[in-house]
Amino acid sequence: MYTAGLAAAGTPRLRKWPSKRRIPVSQPGMADPHQLFDDTSSAQSRGYGAQRAAGGLGYPASSTSSQAAFLADPVSNMAMAYGSSLAAQGKELVDKNIDRFIPVTKLKYYFAVDTVYVGKKLGLLIFPYLHQDWEVQYQQDTPVAPRFDVNAPDLYIPAMAFITYILVAGLALGTQDSARRFSPDLLGLQASSALAWLALEVLAILLSLYLVTINTDLTTIDLVAFLGYKYVGMISGVLMGLLFGKTGYYLVLGWFCISIFVFMIRTLRLKILAEAAAEGVPVRGARNQLRMYLTMAVAAAQPLLMYWLTFHLVR
Angstrom distance (rounded) from CA 81 to CA 84: 5
Angstrom distance (rounded) from CA 198 to CA 223: 10
39 φ/ψ sector (left φ>0, alpha ψ -120 to 50, else beta): alpha
Among 50, 81, 107, 189, binds other proteins (CB under 8 A): 189
CB 69 within 8 Å of CB 58: yes
Taking the least distance from each CB to other proteins, the nearer of 86 and 211 is: 211
Does residue number 197 form part of the binding site for other proteins (CB under 8 A)?
Answer: yes
Taking the least distance from each CB to other proteins, the nearer of 60 and 184 is: 184
Q: How far apart are the first and last CA of the chain?
A: 50
| 3-class DSSP string for 159-172 | HHHHHHHHHHHHHH
Would strands 138-139 and 142-143 be described as parallel, antiparallel, or unpaired?
Answer: antiparallel
Report 224-263 residues binding other proteins (CB under 8 A). none
Does residue number 210 form part of the binding site for other proteins (CB under 8 A)?
Answer: yes
Show the binding pattern over residues 269-308: x = contacts other proteins (CB under 8 A), - = does not. ------------------x---------------------
DSSP line for 226-269: HHHTHHHHHHHHHHHHHHHHHHHHHHHHHHHHHHHHHHHHHHHI
Q: Under DSSP, is residue 294 helix (H, G, I), strand (E, B) or coil?
A: helix
Taking the least distance from each CB to other proteins, the nearer of 164 and 193 is: 193
Does residue number 204 form part of the binding site for other proteins (CB under 8 A)?
Answer: no
Taking the least distance from each CB to other proteins, the nearer of 167 and 196 is: 196
Among 31, 79, 167, 199, binds other proteins (CB under 8 A): 199
Does residue number 196 form part of the binding site for other proteins (CB under 8 A)?
Answer: yes
Does residue number 137 form part of the binding site for other proteins (CB under 8 A)?
Answer: no
Query: Closest approach of Cβ 246 to other proteins, in Å?
Result: 22
Taking the least distance from each CB to other proteins, the nearer of 64 and 213 is: 213
Q: What residues make contact with other proteins under the rule CB under 8 A?
A: 189, 192-193, 195-197, 199-200, 203, 210-213, 287
